[in-house]
Structure 1
């Protein structure tokens, strides 16, 4: 072999080795990227018309994940009430290598199929706030109890008038299993104790739709015959109260849920009677704990089971004008300044909100 031939062979070998090393480096990079993706936790929330999801649940979940797993990253999306969009978001997380997803579904029945598919690919799912059949874990509040508390608070507000009162019920979206539990719990408390449920419809978790349904109820029942209104959440209560005011109806009990700042402000103002506080300081950290533990292969630390799924269910709390300070303000969900706008300052002072 002459010198020229040796140089060609050596040069070819060097190029081949370089290419092989390059390929190994790329493969190694892929493995590293795959391992890196396992530190990502998905959070998919259902809609943004309910203010709590963006302002409370998301930041509290992110904070709790970071505290439990410094290397973990939360990949977040909101479905804006679109089940097709949420499925795309869910599929994208799996395609990106995310191994644990906290999912608050737009449609729980459809989400059960997604969960089964995901589990077949080694992905675990925490059902967040709404139950999903076959999920790896479930975190929520006792949603039947939420409805019972709403009904009981409405009865307390009606007092002696309850036995003869005609009430209107504006329920949540029928695709949401929680809405069915709220409705069931409320009927458990109200049936046989109020004069009549004179009008009942779904407000679809939409303040505009709820307002329209309230206007229809006023036409159907009569503006002077409505004794109280059950609203499944605070967002819808806002639309309902606007319709009541437009019809000249004042002073009747209206209840909600979620302890949104706008709902709390209406309680201070006197246009809304109560809300139900489901603390994100309980819900989001517990869901984050479940997600991190599933990611790291640790025991969940669940408190029990719900329909065969390991779960933790927290107790909800009624908030009215007497305990705003000792609940949402004390817990740091809102500062007094968040609630007490200039036009509410005097009433806040009367209620001891500071």
Structure 2
């Protein structure tokens, strides 16, 4: 398979979609995208569908969506606004994708909530001649491109930072692993990367795969770990992302664990950065979102116009159905309290004013977060 949709005409697709889906944006000039069956579109009629697992205050809503929308306008000035949908519910996302197929978008960018559940809909998009770019998470089915961060490296960065923070306890100490959802292939990628560093160094007292990446589930699991292991016997927590790290901190605070053990994270959420300044979380992994958003848009526009993405891709990956998918794998950056200014602030992700509300000003001053 690999690149597809170049010579496929638009099949007549009639898929039912639930009413009231969170779809916004325009469907683009002149009706259903690519309806001429010419295997590609000019810049004036190309319509891009964007499906994300979160909106609003989530990382996807704060950073990925606006960056994707902005770069689309730069690459394709006459393209209409993206057709957008966001939900953490895999069944709803499947309905959203089917609705976009029915609307006739020309190309899709999808960060799948549950790649396996979404697979039949990705196959339906393929039959309709709509190329799919998997974003952040490797979708299943006949996708045409993939943009993400190197998950093994993310896990290694987390594991290395945790061992450093644990100091002497890095040899033989006990940790809890709060991993992501088993439905997300990235979760196992992160986990294996972390284990490649942690195995043989520390004892893994408890390891949880957090259902749906939901913080409330991580909170319950962490409370269980504290009850089983004892509050004083947890020397570190490998939390796969910042939402889970926040739940871990809440669970530890609820049982009045002091001092808090070092805790990792990922995504550089503002709440997590403030926890790092406060000393409640040791580190996060910053994934510069702009290069990812730019690459996804460039892949989508090329595919929507029936062109190759080989010059954009840095390598290839395989999923269960498709081999040698053109892929862009991007590097990540570890962030601790001493490097916030030279990473997140320098890159314009946050200002010092955003990171440092009045109650954190003394801690920010100590961390060098001053103008």
TM-score (norm 1): 0.87
Contact residue 49 and residue 206 of structure 1 kept, 8 A: no
**Structure 1 SS opposite 2:231:** coil
Q: Could you tell me which residue of structure 1 aligns to residue 342 of structure 2?
A: 326
Q: Which stretches of structure 1, 4 residues or more, deviate above 3 A after TM superposition?
A: 34-38, 47-50
2:229 is the counterpart of 1:213? no
Q: Secondary structure at the match of 1:47?
A: coil
Instruction: Supply the RMSD in Å over aligned alpha carbons.
Output: 1.8
Does 1:124 pair with 2:135? no
CA distance in 2, matches of 1:220, 1:185: 26
Residue 174 of structure 1 pairs with residue 182 of structure 2: yes
Q: Does residue 274 of structure 1 match 2:283?
A: yes
For residues 21-79 of structure 1, the C-alpha deviation after alignment (integer angstroms, 9 at most, x for no partner) is: xxxxxxxxx99334699422011001359820111111111111111111222111112
Higher helix share: 1
C-alpha contact 1:52 1:260 (8 A) present in aligned 2: yes
Give the alignment of 1:56-135 within 5 angstroms.
56-72=63-79, 73-79=81-87, 81-133=88-140, 134-135=142-143
**What is the rounded CA distance, in whole Å, between the counterparts of 1:286 and 1:35 in structure 2?**
22
Unpaired runs of 5+ residues, structure 1, are: 1-29
Report SS of the residue matched to 1:327: helix
1:129-148 correspondence to structure 2 within 5 Å? 129-133=136-140, 134-148=142-156
CA contact (8 A) 2:181 2:209 kept: yes
Q: For 2:238 and 2:260, how far apart are their aligned partners in 1? A: 14
| Structure whose alpha-carbon radius of gyration is higher | 1
Structure 2: gaps of 5 or more residues: 1-27, 36-44, 319-323
Q: CA deviation at 1:164?
A: 2.1
* Structure 1 Cα separation of the partners of residues 178 and 133 of structure 2: 29
Distance 1:32 1:51, change over 3 A: closer
Matched, 1:309 2:320: no
**Normalised TM-score (structure 2):** 0.84
Say whether the 8 Å CA contact 2:252–2:260 is kept in structure 1.
Answer: no
1:179-194 aligned within 5 A: 179-194=187-202
Aligned counterparts of 1:31 and 1:288: Cα–Cα separation in 2: 19
Count of residues paired in the alignment: 323
Cα deviation for residue 285 of structure 1 reads 1.3
Where 2:30 maps in the other structure, the secondary structure is: helix
User: 2 CA distance for matches of 1:187 and 1:295?
Assistant: 39
* Contact persistence 1:43–1:77 (CA under 8 A): yes
CA distance in 2, matches of 1:305, 1:320: 32
Aligned to 1:342: 358
User: Quick one: distance in 2 between partners of 1:34 and 1:148?
Assistant: 45
